[in-house]
Chain A
């Protein structure tokens, strides 16, 4: 069956450190993968998109990698800040088009 797996346990890190979140998928061949941020009581907000032919994408303190052989994406936040505390969701399209399927999300807590 098709699965998108993110670590359901919260990730606790110290301010200033790099946070690394993992997204693994099985039985998909996505053309691209997206990462979203969700704050409590709010809707998810788009952060980054990476296509299947891209190995790495950066945006300010964010970096995403996409390994289609390992079927894995890593999401990094460098120089983390307490304001980065949120739940981060990965999403991919199971087939052609822009319909997205989401992972369960990983909650990140950055402590001052």
Chain B
């Protein structure tokens, strides 16, 4: 299995630009998570999908952030407009729904907003 695939791996963009991060979960997994990691705040859950439906988006910091999952094999996290404080590593992860199931992380998208 290829694991969770994220793109781009690295992105440097100017403040105000739109950023789109992409994720392909592990085939057969029905839960998908977007996390953000920074030195100050650690690993924070932004949004969680189950069967392509957003279940909990309470971690999305503000309206500039949006996430979609149009089908079981693809999700996007969009930031528009981006700000320097959005600079972080964004991880996508997937799992099989069920209590205690392991979450599998991608390698992350390293975002720098200048």
- Tell me whether A and B are bound partners: yes
Complex Cα–Cα for A64 and B91 (A): 26
Q: Does A61 contact B (CB under 8 A)?
A: no
Main secondary structure of the interface of A (DSSP, over half): loop
Q: Does B99 contact A (CB under 8 A)?
A: yes
Q: Does B31 contact A (CB under 8 A)?
A: yes
Complex Cα–Cα for A56 and B101 (A): 18
Nearest-neighbour CB distance to chain A for B51, whole angstroms, equals 13
Give the interface size class of chain B: 20 to 34
Complex Cα–Cα for A102 and B38 (A): 13
Q: Are A32 and B108 in contact (CB under 8 A)?
A: no
Give the interface size class of chain A: 20 to 34
Q: Are B43 and A46 in contact (CB under 8 A)?
A: no
Chain B residue with the shortest CB-CB distance to A51 = B100
Q: Are B99 and A97 in contact (CB under 8 A)?
A: yes
Set of chain A residues within 8 Å of B101, measured between Cβ atoms:
98
Q: Does B97 contact A (CB under 8 A)?
A: yes
Q: Are B43 and A102 in contact (CB under 8 A)?
A: yes
Q: Are A98 and B107 in contact (CB under 8 A)?
A: no
The 4 lowest CB-CB distance pairs between A and B, nearest first, are A43-B105, A102-B43, A104-B42, A46-B102
Beyond the given A31-B99, A44-B105, could you list 10 further A-B residue pairs with CB under 8 A, ordered by the A residue number?
A32-B99, A32-B100, A43-B91, A97-B97, A98-B31, A98-B100, A100-B103, A102-B42, A105-B42, A105-B43
Q: Which residues on A are within 8 Å of B, measured CB to CB?
A: 31-32, 34, 41-46, 49, 51, 89, 91, 93, 96-105
